[in-house]
Amino acid sequence: MNKLISIEEAIDKIKDGDVLMIGGFLSVGAPLTLIDKLVEKGTKNLTLICNDSGFVDSGVGKLVVNKQFSKVIASHIGTNKETGRQMMAGETEVILTPQGTLAEQVRCACYGLGGFLTRTGVGTAVQEGKDVIEVDGVKYLLEKPLHADFALIFAQKADKYGNLVYHGAAQNFNSVMAGAATTTIVEVLEYSEEALNPDVAETPGVFVDYIVKRGA
Amino acid sequence: MNKLISIEEAIDKIKDGDVLMIGGFLSVGAPLTLIDKLVEKGTKNLTLICNDSGFVDSGVGKLVVNKQFSKVIASHIGTNKETGRQMMAGETEVILTPQGTLAEQVRCACYGLGGFLTRTGVGTAVQEGKDVIEVDGVKYLLEKPLHADFALIFAQKADKYGNLVYHGAAQNFNSVMAGAATTTIVEVLEYSEEALNPDVAETPGVFVDYIVKRGA
Amino acid sequence: MDKENIQEFIAKRVAQELHDGDVVNLGIGLPTLVANYVPHDKAVMFQSENGFVGLGPTPTEEQFDPYITNAGGKPVTIKKGGIFFDSATSFGIIRGGHVDLTVLGALQVDAKGNIANYMIPGKMVPGMGGAMDLISGAKKVIVAMEHTAKGSMKILKECSLPLTAANEVNLIVTEMGVIEVTEKGLVLVEINPEFSVEQVQDLTEPELIVSEDLKPMEVE
Amino acid sequence: MDKENIQEFIAKRVAQELHDGDVVNLGIGLPTLVANYVPHDKAVMFQSENGFVGLGPTPTEEQFDPYITNAGGKPVTIKKGGIFFDSATSFGIIRGGHVDLTVLGALQVDAKGNIANYMIPGKMVPGMGGAMDLISGAKKVIVAMEHTAKGSMKILKECSLPLTAANEVNLIVTEMGVIEVTEKGLVLVEINPEFSVEQVQDLTEPELIVSEDLKPMEVE
């Protein structure tokens, strides 16, 4: 079970039409090398699940500008004007989701749950088309899991078993997406043949299928 | 904001009739000093939310033997015969819950969610009285949050801000229960005036109201 | 007051709402300024929805770390006692009522405590980010904004823009006064001595209930 | 075969179902023995529902750590590459299909793949612990048990005891044979050469479909 592969091998796994979860928050903690390689490869008709759509010149925003997404699910697209333009022009379907709901939807996919109840979005446009369930007199929206073919995430360090640790605010959606897609690929700054301390490692290696080194 | 208090101060906060979440798994990682002090105090008519009911001579089992619970919510009571006896005799109400459901119910309380959908328990006695919701052709049970007055948990180390780290399998329900009750009290082996490394600390101090030192 | 003075005045007044031990989330723009006026005797921790508690000021060159940024993507620092976590935990903290106070700007607020601050259909659709979660989840929601937008009213009988959340706003702080959202309607509890109640009412669509205990809005 | 030999025989046969890279959860009792027969060329990680992956053997005196125990509360070790986590994550791994294989004992199994292994009403009510989650969540569920309990049948047309899970069992391994649970019913795919098909059928309530490709059940 060798999880370490090259960036090329990783990107070759992704096919036209696939659904991708991509970690990062306004490009901070995004798997930048994987994204750049995916831009180069030009894989089309992808669906993006990400906190935001980055900037025109960084992170997932480059994939937006390169028109590789037919659908974007995000909590915020305001920092990348091209996403808004594509949405207004009907070129790309955009689903705006509250950030906490997005995080829980991803977690549900990883955890095998069928959904969860949240007060967020009750009485707003987010409610449209969703079941409203009342528990103990409080109204909640039933939000469902978001499934994906690939989770492309970033971590500070991986051991060869796929256990991960994060640094600073680069963790954000990365550890939530680990294990939430059929295949999880992590881009790391450091790779270690030595096992991480089991008390300190944050993401279990069972959630991680492949590891690539940044810039490799 | 001084979170460090004495064991006596901690236990005096708990009143007859309160609902308690208590961490630990077969007494491993249970807040043993808090439990012993609670046995000494004799607070009655409590509700226990815990993975199991421990053993007659250790962990929460001592509270069971001392007849301090009128209700027990747990995934397993087989290691403490007194719990079974009290249940059969109608002295204590016992609700058996799948372990994963119990963990998620506790998390929902901490995370402000109204419930979640799980396949666990579908078609079993666990289903009784619960809503069955079908999502994409799969049947799920709607499980609701478990709320409590106090979470009594254990950690390896706390800093003065209440940030916690755990060791080994002592983490179990402890970090899930942190923040899930109105008041969270943690028993620790080590207390530090110095702040923990923000990358390494596991439970945010915002979930922790009071800290006591083991044996103090 | 010019725009800068107005914003400073509002931020200073909002800072009076902070209590010792509070966990606070500040929205972008004007609300961010509140961090500059935390009373010295109060220990307040700021939460950043991208994944930490303990948000500190802009780093010096030496402190700079590209992976420590605020929810706007700008470099910041983390204070002693802070902690990093993932987005699910971040919103667990927000939704679970572990944030004592959130301060946000708004395009519109109304008499029912509804707030609209995330889109103008056909014009501006940035998305709600974490705003819906914060407004639904925080124990107390303060809207901090200029009383009007280029002369047109922002405090309305009913919001016309898509809502960010329904019935969640507790307090509105503007340069003209402090307004509590109650079941009976909007109660003017403090007024900037530069204005009369009539002037405030003229720029506020719903009828204001003037508190019997109306106080002057004062900042140091 | 005496009881010990029977258990060893079953455990060895179950071990043949392990694949390189598998994450496996073993129930208490007989299933635990499977860990002793992992093929040397296969890297298997054992998951422990109390909160880790990488369950290793009983510690030496030097290795002993009171906070490293298995789901039965007994001292164990953690292997290189293992990791500790909380109970919510543990059951996320279980429910999310990240456990490739779970091996459990049973009081009863039936032709529909139902399993009962957590209580005998009025007699024994230990609770389900993590069993319901494991059976519902693992990719593959193997029941490893003696074919009968003191002569009475355990493989039934329909379970009479309260179910732990409905329609989840994939494979039944006993000292008499290996039975696949299919939509058509129970298929006998391997038989212990010590027994005839008739003998197996006599101790199995539902009618067995005998595989056209019936093989001898062999262990090394």
Q: Do chains A and B touch (3 or more CB pairs under 8 A)?
A: yes
- Classify residue C185 as exposed, middle or buried by CB count within 10 Å of its CB (0-12, 13-18, 19+): middle
Reduced to 3 states, what is the DSSP secondary structure of residue C152? strand
**Domains (ranges, CATH) in chain C?**
3-216 (3.40.1080.10)
Rg (CA), chain C: 17
Cβ separation B112–C137 shorter than 8 A: yes
Cβ separation A195–D81 shorter than 8 A: yes
Instruction: Classify residue D54 as left (phi > 0), alpha (psi -120 to 50) or beta.
Output: left
CA distance C147 to C167: 19
Closest CA of chain A from C140, distance in Å: 15
The whole-number pLDDT of residue D124 equals 79
| Residues with Cβ within 8 Å of residue D150, at least 6 apart in sequence | none
The whole-number pLDDT of residue C214 equals 98
How do residues D79-124 score in pLDDT, each as one tens digit?
A: 999 999 999 999 999 999 999 999 999 999 999 999 999 989 888 7
B–C CB contacts, 8 A cutoff, strictly below: 56
Cβ separation B100–D71 shorter than 8 A: no
ipTM given for this complex: 0.96
Cβ separation A51–C87 shorter than 8 A: yes
User: Is the CB of residue D11 less than 8 Å from the CB of residue D104?
Assistant: no
Residue numbers in B near C55 (CB within 8 A): none
Cβ separation A144–B135 shorter than 8 A: yes
Q: Which residue of C has its CA nearest to B192?
A: C81
Instruction: Classify residue A121 as left (phi > 0), alpha (psi -120 to 50) or beta.
Output: left
Cβ separation C96–B110 shorter than 8 A: yes
The percent of residues above 90 in pLDDT, for chain B, comes to: 97
Cβ separation D45–A206 shorter than 8 A: yes
List the beta bridge partners of residue A118: A141
List the beta bridge partners of residue D115: D109, D165
Nearest-by-Cβ selection for C96 from B179, B195, B196: B179
Q: Do chains D and C touch (3 or more CB pairs under 8 A)?
A: no
**Which of D45, D52, D67, D83 to substitute to test the interface with A, most A CBs within 10 Å?**
D83
CA distance C185 to C112: 7
User: Is the CB of residue D143 less than 8 Å from the CB of residue D135?
Assistant: no
Of A96, A110, A82, nearest to A174 (Cα)? A110
Does B85 touch chain A if contact means CB atoms closer than 8 Å?
A: no
Q: Which helix (H) or strand (E) holds A48?
A: strand A46-49
Chains adjacent to C (≥3 CB pairs closer than 8 angstroms): A, B
Active site residues of C: 49
- The token pair at A208 is 């991680």
* pTM across the whole model: 0.97
- The token pair at C78 is 């983390």
Cβ separation A206–D78 shorter than 8 A: no
**Domains (ranges, CATH) in chain B?**
7-213 (3.40.1080.10)
Residue numbers in C near B199 (CB within 8 A): 84
User: Is the CB of residue B43 less than 8 Å from the CB of residue B64?
Assistant: no
CA distance A72 to A37: 19
Alpha carbon distances (Å) from B163 to B9, D27, D103, D164:
20, 34, 38, 38
**Which of B154, B171, B177, B189 to substitute to test the interface with D, most D CBs within 10 Å?**
B171
Closest CA of chain D from A196, distance in Å: 7
Residues of A with a Cβ under 8 Å from any D Cβ are 1, 107, 109-113, 159-161, 163, 179, 195-196, 198-199, 201, 204-207
List the beta bridge partners of residue B158: B164, B191
Mark which residues 3-62 of D lie under 8 Å from B by CB.
48-52
How do residues A7-55 score in pLDDT, each as one tens digit?
A: 999 999 999 999 999 999 999 999 999 999 999 999 999 999 999 999 9
- The token pair at B103 is 């963990």
Residue of D8, D49, D168, D180 marked active site: D49
The percent of residues above 70 in pLDDT, for chain B, comes to: 100
Q: Residue B1 above 80 pLDDT?
A: no
**Mean pLDDT over the full length of chain D:** 95
User: Is the CB of residue A80 less than 8 Å from the CB of residue A58?
Assistant: no
Reduced to 3 states, what is the DSSP secondary structure of residue A35? helix
Cβ separation D53–A199 shorter than 8 A: no
Residue where the block lists tokens 């919001």: C159
Q: How would you list the strands of the sheet with D115-116, edge to edge? A: D115-116, D108-110, D155-156
CA distance A173 to A153: 8
Closest CA of chain C from A169, distance in Å: 5
> What are the average pLDDT values for consecutive 10-residue runs of chain C, which has 220 residues?
91 97 93 92 95 95 96 94 98 98 97 94 88 96 96 96 96 98 97 97 98 96
Q: Residue D23 above 80 pLDDT?
A: yes
- The token pair at B112 is 């402000």
Q: Which residue of C has its CA nearest to B195?
A: C81
- At A79, the pLDDT band (50, 70, 90 cuts) reads very high
The whole-number pLDDT of residue C4 equals 85
Of D56, D126, D144, D140, nearest to D97 (Cα)? D140
Nearest-by-Cβ selection for C78 from B113, B179, B198: B198
Cβ separation C23–B111 shorter than 8 A: no
| C35: amino acid identity, one letter | A
- Residue D49 a catalytic site member: yes
C-alpha angle C81/C85/C91, rounded to 5°?
110
Residue numbers in B near D48 (CB within 8 A): 169
- The token pair at C190 is 């403090």
How do residues B199-212 score in pLDDT, each as one tens digit?
A: 999 999 999 999 99
A–D CB contacts, 8 A cutoff, strictly below: 56
The whole-number pLDDT of residue B186 equals 98
Closest CA of chain C from A22, distance in Å: 13
**Which of A99, A118, A138 to substitute to test the interface with B, most B CBs within 10 Å?**
A118
List the beta bridge partners of residue A24: none
